[in-house]
Amino acid sequence: MSINKIEKKVLSGKRLLPEDALALFQSDDIFTVGRVANLISEIRNGKNAYFIQNHHINPTNICVNRCKFCAFSRSKGEKGAYELSIKEIVKKLGTKAQRHKGTEGFSEVHIVGGLHPDRQFDFYIEMLEQIKKRFPQMHVKAFTAVEIDYFSRLSGLSLADTLIELKNAGLDSMPGGGAEIFDARVRNSICPEKISGTRWLQIMEAAHNAGIKTNATMLYGHLETYRHRVGHMLKLRELQDRTGGFQAFIPLAFHPMNTELSRKAKGKRQKAKPGLMGSGFKPDPTRGTSGIDDLKTIAIARLFLDNFQHIKAYWVMLGEKIAQLALMFGADDLDGTIIEEKITHSAGALSGSALTRSQLINLIEKAGKVPVERDSFYRPVKG
């Protein structure tokens, strides 16, 4: 179908088919795709562009999975491996909250980490309880589906019981990490030890059924093709139809530096074809994604995921300037202040490690949008 026909289809409120999304990926006309995505975003969220005052904590980078795209993880005993105690985690939060006291107040902590070989499930329960004891108002968004699966195996509890125990201890919502790309062959090449895509979806469904809202992500720009991206988003759309439990979709741009995936692929590098990113697209895990691919992926996500309210332009991975442009290509959320990001910066991210509230507001206003500071459920924060 031509891009104009797809535009008419979207504007008449019809759902896009996977082949429509594929045609959009294969098109070089990112301006049309972006314009329509912006229209749809404004129908759904007005001119609002959301942000939150949050910070990230990664309790440990020691991980038994060692995914090939991950520059953050280490094996136990390896140089650079670290593990924070519960006391250290709570202290870090306290120091940050105090540092910003009076002017800015964090409302959310985002906690994800490696699958530690020795820590028991009780450690994570106590961590949640201690954080809630010290900061009762803080929203705790924690643990990818990959960690939840690990906890369930560690504890011997069912998936549902694992989630309920975590919720009772203070888990308020879950981030969308660990989804990577669902296609089994590509997944097996980039993260052979990780849970399958089917299991990731099963865990998210169980979380939604337990009343825990989550996000969803897609790691792109490594070995996958456009078809894999569309297949991935289709699975998310289907699950969202069933549960409605996803709050936001976040495409994550692969950063190759210091990763096994890019080291392995070097030497086998594919020659870039002339033209933009349409039919000439070839996966290449030795380079980062292009700004054009980033914007196109955001825009198509907005059009294809018609049952997702929010599309997040994660500025840490996109860089501040592409994230700002993404607000004109269908995104309505920039994430937040994110103090101390480690995962992307280990893989060569050039963005800063934090933005202030006023920097976020400035980025949003300059994109012609209305900044709305939100809480973790997208309710506007007064102030």
255 binds, among ligand V47, ligand SF4, none (CB under 5 to 8 A by kind): ligand V47
If one asks whether residue 176 binds ligand V47 (CB under 6 A), the answer comes out as yes
- Only one of the segments 14-22, 32-40, 173-181, 237-245 lies at the binding site for ligand V47 (rule: CB under 6 A); that segment is 173-181
What's the Cα-to-Cα distance from 304 to each of 23, 74, 231, rounded to whole Å? 12, 36, 11
CB of 128 to ligand V47, least distance (A): 17
Q: CB under 5 to 8 A by kind: which of ligand V47, ligand SF4, none does 315 bind?
A: none
Q: Which of ligand V47, ligand SF4, none binds 25 (CB below 5-8 Å, type-dependent)? A: none
Return phi, psi of residue 146, to 5°.
-65, -40
- Which is nearer to ligand SF4, 302 or 342 (by Cβ)? 342
Q: Which two tokens stand for residue 332?
A: 């309505």
Q: Which is nearer to ligand SF4, 16 or 115 (CB)?
A: 115
> φ and ψ at 334, to 5 degrees?
-105, 5
Nearest by Cα to 50 from 380, 288, 286, 367: 380
Member of 138, 148, 181, 252 binding ligand V47 (CB under 6 A): 252
What type of residue sits at position 251? Answer: P
Q: Does 255 bind ligand V47 (CB under 6 A)?
A: yes
Q: Choose between 10 and 322: whose C-beta lies nearer to ligand V47.
A: 322
Q: Binders of ligand V47 among 6-35, rule CB under 6 A?
A: none
Decide which of ligand SF4, ligand V47, none touches 73; Cβ closer than 5 to 8 Å per partner kind. Answer: ligand SF4
Q: Does 251 bind ligand V47 (CB under 6 A)?
A: no
For residues 24 and 18, give the distance between their C-alpha atoms in angstroms, rounded to a whole number: 10
Q: Which of 326, 343 has the CB closer to ligand SF4?
A: 343
How is 234-261 classified by DSSP, letter by letter?
HHHHHHHHHH--EEEEEEEE---TT-HH
Closest CA to 6 of 250, 247, 333, 306: 306
Q: Is 113 in the site for ligand V47 (CB under 6 A)?
A: no
List interacting residues with ligand SF4 (CB under 6 A). 63, 65-67, 70, 72-73, 114-115, 146, 191, 194
| DSSP string across 25-78 | HH-S-HHHHHHHHHHHHHHHHTTEEEEE-EEEE-SB-B-SS--TT-SS-B-TTS
Report the DSSP pairing between strands 213-220 and 333-336: unpaired
Whether the Cβ atoms of residue 359 and residue 351 lie closer than 8 Å to each other: no
Among residues 16, 23, 36, 71, which is the contact residue for ligand V47, using CB under 6 A? 71
The site partner of 63 among ligand SF4, ligand V47, none (C-beta below 5 to 8 Å per kind) is ligand SF4
Q: 212, 250, 331, 360: which one contacts ligand V47 (CB under 6 A)?
A: 250
For residues 171 and 239, give the distance between their C-alpha atoms in angstroms, rounded to a whole number: 22
Place of tokens 């939840």: 148
C-beta of residue 307 within 8 angstroms of C-beta of residue 247: no
Q: At what angle do helices 197-209 and 159-169 cross, to 10 degrees?
A: 50
| Shortest Å, Cβ 7 to ligand V47 | 30
**Closer residue to ligand V47, CB minimum distance, 25 or 69:** 69
Residue 71 interacts with, from ligand V47, ligand SF4, none (CB under 5-8 Å by kind): ligand V47
Q: Is residue 180 a contact residue for ligand V47 (CB under 6 A)?
A: yes
Give the one entry of ligand V47, ligand SF4, none that residue 114 binds, where binding means its C-beta sits below a cut-off of 5 to 8 angstroms depending on kind. ligand SF4
